[in-house]
Amino acid sequence: MDEKDRILLQLLEENARIPLQEMAVMAGLSAPEVEERIRQLQASRVIRKYTTVIDWEKAGEEEVSAIIDLKVTPERDFGYDRIAERISRYRQVKSLRLVTGVYDLQIHITGKTMHDVARFVSEQIAPMDHIRETATHLIMKTYKENGNFFYEREEGERLPLTF
Amino acid sequence: MRDFISSRAKGIPPSGIRKFFDLILTMEDVISLGVGEPDFNTPWSVSEAGIYAIEQGHTSYTSNKGLFPLRQLLSKDLKERYGLTYDPEYEIIITSGVSEALDIALRAVVEPGDEVLVAEPCYVAYSPCVTLAGGSPVPVPCTEDNLFRLTPDALMERITTRSKALVMNFPNNPTGAVMDRPSLKAIRDIVLDHDLLLITDEVYSELTYEGKHTAVATIDGLWERTITLNGFSKAYSMTGWRVGYLCAPREICEAALKIHQYVMLCAPIMGQMAAIEALKNGEEEKNRMVREYRLRRNLFIDGLNRIGLTCHLPEGAFYAFPSVLETGLDDVEFAERLLSEHQVAVVPGSVFGSAGAGYLRCAYAVSREHLTEALRRMGLFISSLP
């Protein structure tokens, strides 16, 4: 990892579909050099995946999301890892993190309906061994996701010509 | 009725190219590379500090010099960043932008009949402000073969016995040129020999892409005869907050302060409080913006050269200054036709002094998408020329 790699990663993080040539010019590299560097960043799993940020609500798809806090009894020899990995296997779980504070794990889940989410928590997560307590927070509205604003903002307008 | 307009007001030209400006307003889908300010919003923590200041009832005047904590922080910041030494008590005045700082600096030192050398191409206000202060502006051309830097030879050619001061601006609007330490040292002896005062507008000092900015007053022997002007507009995307500053030896500062207290009283307090936040916590956001400008610069300069507008790589500010020589058009024609035929606005270089004739100022303080689209349209325009 050097400064040029960092530039490439920042550009890709912002827009994974940026043309190779454009990246090359900005980073001061040739297109084949950029290609090779990206290949290496993928091989070393620094680049995990290329994906798309979607506003499903806007797309007209009903979706219910929730943040669920879990209190977990860590296991001898494994700590939180084994239980966390088990929970992470469910497709409904979009992200899972070990956090400090009153609760231990925080998961973000999505489902088609309220009922889906409620059933998933009460039937799959809550009864698992080592889970002592759950707190479910339904997401009412998303304002920002992965650094992207989900609301319309009025930008200040600059004068078209200033010296 | 008498003619009420003073000859002094009549003696200064109207700002730039009104015709152009009016034309843009009537057009749709224009990409403007004519904007001399950052396209980023003020970093949120800075805006938040300004909002909080108002909520807390900080809506009064401040001392003429500006809030002391701001001057203190600034003094420390200038020292750490550039090695500049200015006493926050006596040698710094917070102004309403560099525009005001320039005006009070000139009025503090210029006598009727004094000649003030102005390194051109440059920002449009310098010469009119010299005139308003009662002096005569004398342009000193900076040319492309010297990377648009001010050279000893060009300076010598324009110096007379009436020369009193030299106004310069590096990193430069409109050329993006910088003066590194060796090029500043090269003009030092002339400045000393002719007992000139330097007025240096360093508002783009944080926007350098090939190494760190050299402050003029850090050159040996120049501090005593330099007025340093700078501000928060460009570095922290704070143009609308109107906060700049003037730093100079105590005697000059006191003279400038008298003018400041009568014409401006003080810079807006909420802007000053936002500026404090910028100095305390704005570094990371500023660096992020500078990184982005550098990427855009690389993208845009490469594109310009590709479509046949030769352009040196500017080392600072956010302007590209390509030559239109090979197109067979002059800069004004080129800009007018580019706007009316392809809806891209650039500023003809001659607006910034005769040394800028034959060039275009293109501000790359716009999104990369717009830069790419502007390049495409400019390419189309150039290939449509005979």
DSSP string, A128-160: STTEEEEEEEE----SEETTEE-S---PPPPPS
Phi, psi of B230 (to 5 degrees): -160, 175
Which domains are delineated in chain B? 7-42+284-384 (3.90.1150.10), 44-281 (3.40.640.10)
Chain B CB contacts of A160 under 8 Å are 21, 24-25, 30, 32, 34-35, 345
Q: Which amino acid, one-letter code, is at A48? A: R
Is pLDDT above 90 for B14? no
In this complex, which of A22, A155, A163 lies closest to B36 when CB atoms are compared?
A: A163
**Pair type for strands B197-201 and B163-168:** parallel
In this complex, which of A7, A11, A161 lies closest to B347 when CB atoms are compared?
A: A161
What is the structure's pLDDT at B24? Answer: 87
Is pLDDT above 80 for B15? no
CB contact under 8 A, B16 and A161: yes
Chain A CB contacts of B296 under 8 Å are 26
Closest residue by Cα to residue A161 from B41, B148, B27: B27
Is pLDDT above 90 for B198? yes
Least confident of B8-12, B62-66, B83-87, B342-346: B8-12
Is pLDDT above 90 for B174? yes
Nearest 5 degrees, angle CA B250-CA B254-CA B259? 150
Residue with structure tokens 């010099």? B65
Is pLDDT above 90 for B325? yes
Buried b (16+ CB within 10 A) or exposed e, A64-85: bbbebbbebeeeeeeebeebbe
Tokens of B61: 């005047």
Q: What is the mean pLDDT of residues B303-319?
A: 96
pTM: 0.90
Identify any residues that bridge with B316 across adjacent strands, giving them in sequence order.
B208
Phi, psi of B381 (to 5 degrees): -60, -45
What is the structure's pLDDT at A154? Answer: 79
Strands of the sheet containing B360-363, edge to edge, are B319-320, B360-363, B347-348
B172/B349 Cα distance (integer angstroms)? 13
pLDDT by residue (tens digit) across A63-106?
899 999 999 999 999 999 999 999 999 999 999 999 999 999 99
pLDDT by residue (tens digit) across B326-367?
999 999 999 999 999 999 999 999 999 999 999 999 999 999
Is pLDDT above 80 for B67? yes
B331 close to B357: Cβ distance less than 8 angstroms: yes
What is the structure's pLDDT at B375? Answer: 98
Is pLDDT above 70 for B23? yes
Closest residue by Cα to residue B50 from B274, B304, B232, B368: B274
Arithmetic mean of pLDDT over chain B: 96
Identify any residues that bridge with B140 across adjacent strands, giving them in sequence order.
B119
Residue with structure tokens 């979009």? A94
Q: Which amino acid, one-letter code, is at B131? A: T
Categorise residue A68: left if φ over 0, alpha if ψ from -120 to 50, beta otherwise: beta
**Pair type for strands B226-231 and B244-247:** antiparallel
Is pLDDT above 80 for A156? no
Coil, strand or helix: which one is B64?
coil
> Number of Cβ pairs closer than 8 Å across A and B?
57
Tokens of B15: 């700002």
Is omega for the bond preceding B141 within 30 degrees of 0, making it cis?
no
- Inform me whether the C-beta atom of residue A12 falls under 8 Å from chain B C-beta atoms: no
- Alpha helices by DSSP H, listed for A30-124, are 31-43, 81-88, 114-119
CB contact under 8 A, A161 and B34: yes
Is pLDDT above 70 for B386? yes
A93 close to A136: Cβ distance less than 8 angstroms: no
B53/A147 Cα distance (integer angstroms)? 27
Tokens of B222: 């120049």
Identify any residues that bridge with B68 across adjacent strands, giving them in sequence order.
none
What is the structure's pLDDT at B13? Answer: 86
Arithmetic mean of pLDDT over chain A: 93
Identify any residues that bridge with B138 across adjacent strands, giving them in sequence order.
B117
CB contact under 8 A, A25 and B37: no
Closest residue by Cα to residue B382 from B314, B320, B325: B325
**Pair type for strands B197-201 and B226-231:** parallel
CB contact under 8 A, B295 and A26: yes
Q: Which amino acid, one-letter code, is at B282? A: G
Domain boundaries, given as residue ranges, for chain A = 3-43, 64-141
In this complex, which of A10, A160, A163 lies closest to B24 when CB atoms are compared?
A: A160
Buried b (16+ CB within 10 A) or exposed e, B127-152: bbbbbbbebbbbbbbbebeebbbbbe
Q: What is the mean pLDDT of residues B51-71?
A: 97
- Locate the chain B residue with the closest alpha carbon to A157: B39
Q: What is the mean pLDDT of residues A120-140?
A: 94
CB contact under 8 A, B345 and A156: no
Least confident of A138-147, B164-173, B263-272, B368-377: A138-147
B197/B222 Cα distance (integer angstroms)? 9
Q: Which amino acid, one-letter code, is at B261? A: Q
Rounded to the nearest 10 degrees, what angle do helices B283-307 and A20-27 cross at?
Answer: 110
pLDDT by residue (tens digit) across A17-71?
999 999 999 999 999 999 999 999 999 999 999 999 888 888 988 889 999 999 9
What is the structure's pLDDT at B16? Answer: 65
- Locate the chain A residue with the closest alpha carbon to B352: A163
Is pLDDT above 90 for A157? no
**Fold topology of A3-43:** Arc Repressor Mutant, subunit A (1.10.10)
Chain A CB contacts of B352 under 8 Å are 163
CATH number of A64-141: 3.30.70.920
CB contact under 8 A, A159 and B295: no
Residue B246: which H helix or E strand, with range? strand B244-247
pLDDT by residue (tens digit) across B135-144?
999 999 999 9
pLDDT by residue (tens digit) across B104-162?
999 999 999 999 999 999 999 999 999 999 999 999 999 999 999 999 999 999 999 99
What is the structure's pLDDT at B304? Answer: 97
Nearest-Cα distance to chain A for B224, in Å, is 30
B335 close to B293: Cβ distance less than 8 angstroms: no
Chain B CB contacts of A156 under 8 Å are 41, 240
